[in-house]
Amino acid sequence: MCCRVASREAPGLRRFVAAGLSAVVWCLLVYVRSRCCLSSQIMPTPVSEPGGVFPPPRATPLRVSLTGVLESAYDGRMTLARIPDAPPSAGWDLHCHTVFSDGRQTPDDMVREAYECGLHGVAIADHDTTAGWADAVKAAERYRLPLIRGTEVTADASGISVHMLAYQYDPCDARIVDLFASLRAARLARTKRMVELISKDYPITWDDVLAQIREGDETTVGRPHIADALVAAGAYPDRSAAFAGAVGSRSPYYIPTPSPDAADVVRAFRQAGGVSVIAHAGDPSRNRRLLSDADIETLIDAGLDGLEVWHRGNPPQQRERLLALARRHNLLVTGGSDWHGKGGKPNKLGENLTDDDTVACIIERGAIPPILPR
């Protein structure tokens, strides 16, 4: 090492200056290395699982923006992202479904379309599964588009159906793996039972529903697949019409999804190093009764991180209420399209977005690295 040679030959002041320079170089190396770890996917002590290699949850949260700025004062909870009054016009779509649940297109289609729309990045958020994550990562690298990974879970809070979005959690966490397995099994049994009831009045069988499933056992099966079978049989013109009829929550064939308690879901994702957000909390078309402020505050106490405010289902007065709650409790405010691909829902990819600073907060809180292709 040239610094050591120089310091051996240099007496007094020169030795002192050389030692100081070594310390500065060392600090710079540590700083550069820490930035590399955060901005690329090189993280300490990775754990492997079938879909890829993931690091353990970070013990010490750091604030990092997508441009790599570090702020050590961050306490891991507060929101340093600005809460906007209006939906962002650029950013990330954090709510997208693919063929691994009830979407009609692949993770590759999702990333390609996000790239073509000029989004800054996209999040996969299939129901009750991480099965599409590996394909989404490959697509993000192919199209060089940033990606974060998530899941949407149907839960229950005070008898109200709540959709929880969770991002950047450790997919190997035993509690999460068990949760998904039991949710998917319960959803499958309930879907089969609904098909038995519907098939008494409509020309579909369970095999017709299976014919709508693209990824076999890896697909989370649910009501949208019944709807697709009904459309294929000519009973309805499209999925939305089927949801307004036989598969809707007000139909006589409807059986509710068996759901875990929402606070337990929030705690499970928090333990797995994830970031949890209530999806479309103000959408009056999904529930006769909406979550009250007190219901949401119970989830905040359990570790909730944010609210999906920018979603087509939330009407203006509900957006105002959710924004006020977010300001009061320093919550993240997110947006997403709830895209299901062509033939899924009319929702267009990128029609609602999350700003870059909020995504940076999600990334710094999360247990796994984002995919940020260079």
Q: Which residues bind Zn ion (CB under 5 A)?
A: 152, 163, 279, 338
CB of 280 to Zn ion, least distance (A): 6
Token pair for 46? 């990775």
Token pair for 374? 């260079």
Helix (H) or strand (E) holding 94: strand 92-96
Q: How far is CA 68 from CA 35, 37, 95, 332, 334, in A?
A: 7, 10, 25, 20, 21
Q: List the alpha helices (DSSP H) in the chain.
A: 2-9, 12-39, 107-117, 133-143, 174-198, 206-210, 223-232, 239-244, 262-271, 293-302, 316-329, 356-365
Closer residue to Zn ion, CB minimum distance, 63 or 104:
104
CB of 279 to Zn ion, least distance (A): 5
CB of 166 to Zn ion, least distance (A): 12
Length of the chain: 374
- Between CA 81 and CA 330 the distance in angstroms is 9
DSSP for 207-249?
HHHHTT-SSGGGS---HHHHHHHHHHTTSSSSHHHHHHTTTST
| Residue entry with tokens 């949850």 | 57
CB of 336 to Zn ion, least distance (A): 8
CB of 313 to Zn ion, least distance (A): 8
Closer residue to Zn ion, CB minimum distance, 54 or 243:
243
What is the DSSP code (8-state) at residue 123? E
Closer residue to Zn ion, CB minimum distance, 163 or 190:
163
Q: Which residue is nearest to Zn ion (CB)?
A: 163
Q: List the alpha helices (DSSP H) in 49-173.
A: 107-117, 133-143
Closer residue to Zn ion, CB minimum distance, 103 or 369:
103
CB of 133 to Zn ion, least distance (A): 16
Q: What is the β-pairing status of strands 275-278 and 160-167?
A: antiparallel
CB of 56 to Zn ion, least distance (A): 29
Closer residue to Zn ion, CB minimum distance, 126 or 364:
126
CB of 88 to Zn ion, least distance (A): 19
Closer residue to Zn ion, CB minimum distance, 88 or 336:
336
Residue 11: burial class (beta carbons within 10 Å; 0-12, 13-18, 19+): exposed
Closer residue to Zn ion, CB minimum distance, 352 or 358:
352
Closer residue to Zn ion, CB minimum distance, 56 or 258:
258
